[in-house]
A and B are shown apart, each in its own frame.
Chain A
Amino acid sequence: MSVIDDPSSTVESANPANPANPATPASPATPGLFARLPRLARSPRVPRPPRPPRRPPAPPRVASEMTRGEALARSIVATFLLLVMMFVLNVTVFSHLQHLASQQRLEDDIRAQLAAGTAPVSEGTFENVLLADGAPVAIMDIPRLKFHEVVVEGTASAQTALGVGHRRDTVLPGQVGESVLMARAAAFGGPFSAIAALDPGDEITVRTGQGLQRFEVLGTRYAGDPTPPRLAQGESRLTLQTARGVPYVPTGIVYVDARLVSQVQPAGARQTNAGTLAPSDKAMATDARTVWALVFAVQFLIVVEIAGVWSFRRFGAQKTWIVFLPVAALSGFLVADQLTRLLPNLL
């Protein structure tokens, strides 16, 4: 039986007195007509429950306890990554800043010496003391490249980090004979990065204790190319050397030869000759003489790491970060700096 055919259900649903159905108000004017029509029963509207948020709240993170081995492995990996990061930063960023600071200090020194007339003209100072490695000896300019650098004595890795290095077994620029200057092509300012672009006839000037020396570029050459003819009596030549290839990935050495066009100067006394020149002063040589400093720097880094782990457990992450971040960065920088000195001196 359907709802329509059931008179009892019809009468009940149309009852205006039914409080459960407020949507069907009573109509006293036509009670008989509407009383006969069938009506569907409506359920009362129930408010919908609120929707859950789209992103449920994340469950609270539970810190996992690490074993001693896991903690040690994490410390070693963190130390290694810190070292790699500091090494890359040191070679690509800090080394250039170091070079800038060194050049400023060296230029102050050499200008004071030039003004006082005490700039070196031999391998010794005006007091007959052998020039220390890294002592300033000249100021070099290449107008076409807008190049301006202070030349220091010695060509080992530590000296080419300061600026252009003068090879100890050769005369100073402008003096009778051949003078060799070396500098880096990429790191520590990359002073000689553009010398391969010099053309024959370009000018190079070097100011030494004997005045301004002017050179004219002859040309560039690579290893295996024919060398310029031997110097005649009373002639002077300057040879520049640096690494060639992709920056930081040297594939060889490039040489730039230049001949003196100004008045030649008498050569000063030299204690070092080709036989006694230290191997670390030769082109593309590395310098392992300061490995002891690397050992101390690594020890310092390990001590900082251990102290950092202890502080992390004792005082928590916040205080440890504040205190140990600069100390860890300093120790990482010291290690990276010593590692950089082991790289070739023309890099």
Chain B
Amino acid sequence: MYVSGLSSDVRLTANPFEGSTLLSFTVRNVSTTTFDATADFWMEGPFGNRLSAVDAVAVTQLKAGESRVVSADLAGAGQWGLVTAHVTLRPPAEVGGTTLTPLTRDATVFVFPWLIALLLLATAIAAMVLQLVRSRRTPAADAMAVGVSA
């Protein structure tokens, strides 16, 4: 049995605290026996905090020589920015006389924190506008104050 790395596809949602990430990997059965397996997906934040998980995704009847893409949609990436995604594939303990063990694959996923980016952008624009208004008002006020004739 061969397994690919874990791929991720981040889909931003309107809800800033949800976020949707599609995780997928490919498993290939190089034995001559059909078998079943399960896959556990989960995501963790930058501090190791678990964000969401999808357990026991079934990989049923994987035939000899067959490659199959196994995927799960995980919510909860939110505005964390950098999250780590993991999957553990649990095959049968033995296939065709060969002992198999669970395999884990990891991936680093960048989730664009659009709410934080929007807040930063709004703050920057507000600061620029405020600076512009002040810079226009100050010379005018100074001219009025200094330019009063006797």
* A interface residue numbers (CB < 8 A to B): 47-48, 50-51, 53-54, 195-201, 217-222, 225-226, 244-247, 254, 257
Contacts and interface: CB of A to CB of B under 8 A. Distances in A.
A200 B142 contact: no
Given A51-B145, A220-B3, A254-B5, A200 B108 contact: no
B145 A199 contact: no
Interface string B72-103: 00000000001010000000000000001101
B52 interface: no
27 contacts: A47-B149, A48-B150, A50-B146, A53-B142, A53-B145, A53-B146, A54-B138, A54-B145, A197-B5, A199-B4, A200-B4, A217-B4, A218-B28, A218-B30, A219-B2, A219-B4, A220-B3, A220-B5, A220-B105, A221-B103, A222-B104, A226-B100, A245-B106, A245-B108, A246-B84, A247-B108, A254-B5
Contact of A219 (B3, B104, B149): B3
B133 interface: no
A50 B105 contact: no
Contacts of B67: 199-201
A197 B4 CA distance: 7
A257 B1 CA distance: 13
A226 B89 CA distance: 14
Nearest to A256: B5
B142 to A, nearest CB: 6
Nearest to A45: B150
Nearest to A225: B103
A220 B26 CA distance: 10
A54 B141 contact: yes
A228 to B, nearest CB: 8
Interface of B: 2-7, 26, 28, 30, 67, 82, 84, 100-101, 103-108, 138, 141-142, 145-146, 148-150
B140 to A, nearest CB: 11
A54 B2 contact: no
A267 to B, nearest CB: 25
Contacts of A257: 2
A201 B14 CA distance: 37
B82 A246 contact: yes
Nearest to B6: A196
Nearest to B25: A199
A197 B28 contact: no
B146 A51 contact: yes
Nearest to A47: B150
B26 A200 contact: yes
B105 to A, nearest CB: 7
Nearest to A196: B5
Nearest to B67: A200
B93 to A, nearest CB: 13
Given A50-B148, A200-B28, A244-B106, 10 more contacts: A51-B146, A54-B138, A54-B142, A197-B7, A200-B4, A201-B67, A217-B4, A218-B30, A220-B4, A226-B100
Contacts of B4: 197-200, 217, 219-220
A54 B100 CA distance: 80
Contacts of A220: 3-5, 105
Contacts of A225: 103
